Amino acid sequence: MITDVFHHFSSKTICFTITVILFIEVSAFAQIRVDNPKRTTERSVEGRVNSRIDQGINKGLDKVEEGIGNIFKKKEKKKKSEEGTEEGKERENEDESSEETQSTRNNSKTNAPSAKTNAPSSKTAEPQNLKVYSKFDFVPGEKVIAFDDFSTTSLGDFPLGWNTNSSAEVVTLDDSPTKWLFMSKDGFFQPTYVKDLPENFTLEFDIYNRYVNGNILNYRFMIYDSDNPKRDLAESRISKSGVYFEWGAGTGAAGFFAYENGEETIKNEDLNIKELMWDNQPVKVRFSIWRQKTRLRIYVNQNKVVDIPQAFDPKAKYNAFKLGGKYMNFSESENKDEFMVANVRYAVGAPDTRSKLITEGKFSTTGILFDVNSDKIKPESYGVLKELGTVLKENATVKVRIIGHTDSDGEDAKNLDLSKRRAASVKNALQSEFGVEATRMETDGKGETQPVAPNTTSEGKANNRRVEFVKL
């Protein structure tokens, strides 16, 4: 009889436990639908809320199952006898694996990266060969005016030579040594060293953005004429002459606009750029901007997305550049939208490969780029190599010596060896990609022994990392 009473009491306890836990869990999460109408106005946010409700119900059921397991827990002695079994170890490993997986998921949704905490992994592609960039005709300016990789800025600090109307800090991503200038609030970055933009210049930079919230967030960069760039930093529109390019976060939709004396002269709001599309992974691309008098070309990675013959007003004095985001973190979320910039390279001058090599007998370029401490040519060097290949093919009797040069970082002997290997890589590329006969090319390297600029600044080092072609 005592046993029957005990079983009867246990059944009631179980039923009561199930009812209470389910009621509490479902009620608590269901309130999100009613008490937060602001978030439910956005589809994406509503979907997330509903997902959280489902998760809450599942958690409630998990707790019920856990409660039942505790009610019918075996005696301590029997539990200890199972700890050494393979089944027990497998369960233990599964628990640890689940915890690690959950931790990884949580880390992938962390708030904006700080100087001490690495940001989520960006999507990485397999190393690209030169053929991928076969339509990339971008040729960087002849002289590097500024190269900013934030190497002299401490993590967590704001870099010299920049201005902002928001807040920003230098961070790193994962285990990569690359430094990024990070901004998570509305506003603009402005590199103050990009000024007095002449008729022929190039501007390159890497962009990283992680789009989290379902909102109307967009990013943009602007080149414009300003009487006071500092005063105009907060302005999202152009009051005089200028051009700007913007793209919607996550959609790949983009637009280009040109202004003269405050009036819109050219517009295209129907661009669709797949490299800028969000697929639940951060977007990481390189922008290349090229001005040749009134003509403007913009590239996203290897793809030319804008080519406007009359984009620039020849009478205007373009002297300012800025980039930033609008409506960042517009919807409430613990996970922040992220916008970063790195490796800014600003150069001027129009390289005249044909004239300098054939007529003057010498041509030097900083536009052939290599991986750090490597002789592997970066694919964005294709435009320069193509020009050189074309000139050499059209002048079949010309022979050249290719000479590699480095900056002064590192050991002298290693730099000398690296410069020779880089020259050999250029020769191989001209032969394999453009059909220039190997017998027409010699190679050599000078390491750091013949600098053309002081090795005390980033732009000086960028000018010293060059490849020289001498007509024989």
pLDDT, tens only, 279-297: 778 889 999 999 999 999 9
**Has residue 74 got a pLDDT over 60?**
no
Under the banding of pLDDT at 50, 70 and 90, the label for residue 101 is: very low
3-state secondary structure of 279: coil
Residue 332: what pLDDT? 58
Residue 48: what pLDDT? 40
Residue 310: what pLDDT? 96
Token pair 């628990």 in the structure block, residue: 95
What are the residue boundaries of the structural domains of the chain, listed by start?
A: 2-107, 131-348, 353-471
Under the banding of pLDDT at 50, 70 and 90, the label for residue 83 is: very low
Please list, in sequence order, all residues whose beta carbon lies within 8 angstroms of the beta carbon of residue 359, skipping any fewer than 6 positions away.
Answer: none
Q: ∠ at Cα 339 (334, 340), nearest 5°?
A: 130
**Has residue 378 got a pLDDT over 70?**
yes
Q: What is the mean pLDDT of residues 399-405?
A: 97
Residue 22: what pLDDT? 44
User: Greater confidence, 11 or 420?
Assistant: 420
**Has residue 136 got a pLDDT over 90?**
no
Smallest Cα–Cα separation from 226: which of 201, 267, 192, 185? 192
**Has residue 73 got a pLDDT over 50?**
no
Q: What is the mean pLDDT of residues 106-113?
A: 40
Buried b (16+ CB within 10 A) or exposed e, 109-135: eeebbeeeebbbebeeeeeeebeebee
In this structure, what token pair is assigned to residue 160? 């010299």
Give the pairing of strands 400-405 and 441-447. Answer: parallel
What do you get for the CA distance between the two ends of the chain, in Å? 111
Instruction: Provide the mean pLDDT of the chain.
Output: 77
Residue 37: what pLDDT? 36
Q: Which of 48-52, 351-355, 380-384 has the lowest mean pLDDT?
A: 48-52
Smallest Cα–Cα separation from 458: which of 144, 63, 213? 144
Task: Tell me the C-alpha distance between 310 and 421, whole Å.
Answer: 42
* Residues 220, 313 contacting (CB under 8 angstroms): no
**Cβ-defined contacts of 12-19 (< 8 Å, 24+):** 13/71, 14/67, 14/68, 14/71, 17/64, 17/67, 17/68, 17/71, 18/64, 18/67
**Has residue 89 got a pLDDT over 50?**
no
Residue 280: what pLDDT? 74
Residue 327: what pLDDT? 74
pLDDT, tens only, 214-245: 566 788 999 999 999 988 888 878 889 999 99
**Has residue 80 got a pLDDT over 80?**
no
Under the banding of pLDDT at 50, 70 and 90, the label for residue 39 is: very low
Residue 333: what pLDDT? 58
Q: Where are the alpha helices (DSSP H) in 331-441?
A: 353-354, 382-394, 412-434
Single pTM value for the model: 0.68
CA torsion sign for 236, 237, 241, 243 is positive
**Has residue 11 got a pLDDT over 70?**
no
| Phi, psi (degrees; rounded to nearest 5) at 433 | -90, -30
The CATH topology of domain 131-348 is: Jelly Rolls (2.60.120)
Q: Which of 45-54, 208-217, 267-276 has the lowest mean pLDDT?
A: 45-54
**Has residue 188 got a pLDDT over 50?**
yes
Q: What is the mean pLDDT of residues 260-271?
A: 94
Buried b (16+ CB within 10 A) or exposed e, 68-91: eeeeeeeeeeeeeeeeeeeeeeee
Q: Which of 146-150, 182-186, 423-427 has the lowest mean pLDDT?
A: 182-186
Q: Which of 215-219, 358-362, 397-401, 438-442 has the lowest mean pLDDT?
A: 215-219
**Has residue 112 got a pLDDT over 50?**
no
Under the banding of pLDDT at 50, 70 and 90, the label for residue 30 is: very low
Under the banding of pLDDT at 50, 70 and 90, the label for residue 366 is: very high
Residue 216: what pLDDT? 66
User: Greater confidence, 437 or 15?
Assistant: 437
Please list, in sequence order, all residues whose beta carbon lies within 8 angstroms of the beta carbon of residue 206, skipping any fewer than 6 positions away.
Answer: 178, 180, 284, 285, 286, 287, 341, 342, 343
Give the whole-number percent of the chain exceeding pLDDT 70.
69
In this structure, what token pair is assigned to residue 400? 């050249």
Smallest Cα–Cα separation from 197: which of 94, 347, 332? 347
pLDDT, tens only, 316-350: 999 999 998 877 766 555 667 788 999 999 999 87
Q: Which CATH architecture has domain 353-471?
A: 2-Layer Sandwich (3.30)
* Residues 343, 206 contacting (CB under 8 angstroms): yes
